[in-house]
Amino acid sequence: MNSVEIIGTGSYAPEKVVTNEDMSKVVDTSDEWISSRTGIKERRISVNENTSDLGAKAALRAIENANIKVEDIDLIITATTSPDSYTPSVACIIQEKIGAKNAVCFDVNAACTGFIFALNTAAQFIKTGEYNNALVIGAEVLSKILDWEDRSTCVLFGDGAGAAVIRKGNKEGILKAILGSDGTGGKFLHCPAINVVNPFSEEKELANSKISMNGREVFKFAVKVMVSSIKKVVEDSGLKLEDIDYIIPHQANIRIIEAAAKKLELGMSNFFVNLQNYGNTSGATIPVAVDEMNRRGLLKSGTKIVVVGFGGGLTWGAMVLQWTKE
């Protein structure tokens, strides 16, 4: 089996900043409620860009950071819950936008855990030698599927994209990955697509395709799987928690991260947090955070990080990554 190295990262968020104060003009809420219940201060909202536009910009930055040619990319996997269209896939649209003519492209949907599912899928193709250079993207324009009259969800989410380039390498960049799913919990975080309406169906009304969530159930699930996934992935990698330099959790709610940190007996300084600036961008939170850390110079050769995510499906996953770039 080949080794897999992460050789570049990139991210992009729409320019429009929407503060909690701005949100209080849309629904009956306040900066005090949003800040104290979630830690979110502002989010970016797309005015005229779709998911593939954000993804393509993040992808080009990752390719530049990896210092390879776009033609060298032979696989593109995009994680998204908010695609531009049912078909083509966001990965195919991004392929055209960036000119990655030699790539095989498809999307994965694992909601907020999507980037971890996509990265692990791409890694399998590289380990087996099927492909050499993969571009993995998490891109979301959640603002188009939010119910802007539901204050319990619309204040939580934002738009953004992050990307990573991985390649067949000499050093091991992905030390261990675990993924999980529980379809019985799908009802807790739901966004319906088009229902069956046709000349022969009983149903005549198209469903409203907006996100709905049982926040308390998702909160409990999130804390539980974050703690168990971090423990398991670190143990399975043969390392100990104290060997890990940073944990990059899915950025949904600071209280979820604090509760998990407490149960793991870790300080908050072990966790990278940027949700105050972006809110929850679902499949994009983890690659955006990895890119911010990379660009701030926090990732050095040998740095070990755990990325951990949870979300709709229900799904969850964690990976132990080792930075190999000098």
Site residues (CB under 6 A) for ligand UT7?
29, 33-34, 37-38, 112, 151-152, 155, 189, 213, 215-216, 218-219, 222, 252-253, 256, 280, 311
- Shortest reach from residue 153's CB to ligand UT7, in Å: 7
Closer residue to ligand UT7, CB minimum distance, 136 or 256: 256
Residue (106 or 219) nearer to ligand UT7, CB: 219
Nearer to ligand UT7, 122 or 260 (CB): 260
Tell me how far, at minimum, the Cβ of 265 lies from ligand UT7, in Å: 22
Task: From the candidates 20, 65, 109, 280, give the one annotated as an active-site residue.
Answer: 280
Nearest Cα to Cα of residue 251 among 113, 135, 59: 113
Determine which one of 112, 253, 277, 294 is catalytic: 112
Residue (3 or 152) nearer to ligand UT7, CB: 152
| Cβ–Cβ under 8 Å, residues 174 and 194 | no
The residue sitting closest to ligand UT7, measured at its beta carbon, is 215
Catalytic site includes residue 112:
yes
Burial of 159 (0-12, 13-18, 19+ CB in 10 A): buried
In terms of CB distance, is 38 or 50 closer to ligand UT7?
Answer: 38
> Least distance (Å) from ligand UT7 to the CB of residue 324?
29
CB closer to ligand UT7 out of 65 and 229: 229
Minimum Å gap between C-beta 62 and ligand UT7 is: 23
Options 105, 250, 253, 277, the catalytic residue? 250
Query: Smallest distance, Å, CB 151 to ligand UT7?
Result: 4
Asked whether 253 and 310 are in contact (CB, 8 A), the reply is: no
Shortest separation between residue 112's beta carbon and ligand UT7, angstroms: 4
Q: What are the residue numbers of the active site?
A: 112, 250, 280
